Amino acid sequence: MKTTKSNNEDWDLVLESGRADKHYWKDLWRYRDLFYILSWRDIKVRYKQTVLGAAWSIIRPLLTTIIFTIVFSKIAKLDNPGNAPYALMVFAGMLPWQFFSNALSESSNSLIGNANLITKVYFPRLIIPASSVITSLLDFAISFLILIVMMFWYHYIPSWHIVFLPVFIILAFLCAFGVGLYLTAVNVKYRDFRYIIPFIIQFGLYITPVGFSSSVIGEKWKFLYALNPMVGIIDGFRWCILGDPMNWHSFIFSFVVIVIFLIIGIAYFRKMEKSFADNI
Partner 1 sequence: MSKIIEVRGLSKSYIINHEGKESYTALRDVIAQKAKKIFSFPNWKSLNKTQEEFWALKDIDFEIEQGDRVGIIGRNGAGKSTLLKILSRITEPTNGSIKIKGRIASLLEVGTGFHPELSGRENIYLNGAILGMSRAEIKKHFDAIVDFAEVEKFLDTPVKRYSSGMYVRLAFAVAAHLEPEILIVDEVLAVGDAQFQKKCLGKMEDVSKNEGRTVLFVSHNMGVVSQLCTSAILLNKGTIDYNGKVASVVDKYLRNQSATNDFNYNEVVNGIKPNFIESIKIKNTEDQFVSSFSFDQQIVIEFTCQINHYSPDLLIGIGMQDKSNSRVFTVVKEIDFFMDNKSGQLRGELTLPQSLFAPNVYSFVFALWTKMGVIHDVAENVCVISIHDNGTSLAAFEGADYGSVIINPTWKSC
- Per CB under 8 A, residues contacting partner 1 are 8, 10-18, 30-31, 33-34, 37-38, 41, 44-45, 48-49, 116-123, 189-193, 196, 274-275, 277-280
Q: Which of helix, strand or coil describes residue 21?
A: coil
Nearer to partner 1 by Cβ, of 23 and 74: the residue is: 23
- Nearest approach, Cβ of residue 107 and partner 1 (Å): 18
Amino acid letter at 245? P
Nearer to partner 1 by Cβ, of 117 and 200: the residue is: 117
- Nearest approach, Cβ of residue 4 and partner 1 (Å): 11
- Nearest approach, Cβ of residue 2 and partner 1 (Å): 18
The DSSP code sequence of 232-258 is: HHHHHHHHHHH-----HHHHHHHHHHH
- Nearest approach, Cβ of residue 6 and partner 1 (Å): 13
CB-hemisphere CA count at 13 Å for 206?
5
The rounded distance, in Å, linking the Cα atoms of 208 and 234 is 8
Q: Round to the nearest angstrom and report the end-to-end CA distance of the chain.
A: 40
Nearer to partner 1 by Cβ, of 122 and 154: the residue is: 122
- Nearest approach, Cβ of residue 122 and partner 1 (Å): 4
The rounded distance, in Å, linking the Cα atoms of 54 and 47 is 7
- Nearest approach, Cβ of residue 143 and partner 1 (Å): 25
- φ, ψ dihedrals at 61, nearest 5°: -65, -30
Q: Provide the Cα torsion 96, 101, 105, 111; round to 10°.
A: 30
> 174-185 burial, b for 16+ CB within 10 Å, e for fewer?
bbbbbbbbbbbb
Nearer to partner 1 by Cβ, of 39 and 65: the residue is: 39
Nearer to partner 1 by Cβ, of 192 and 219: the residue is: 192
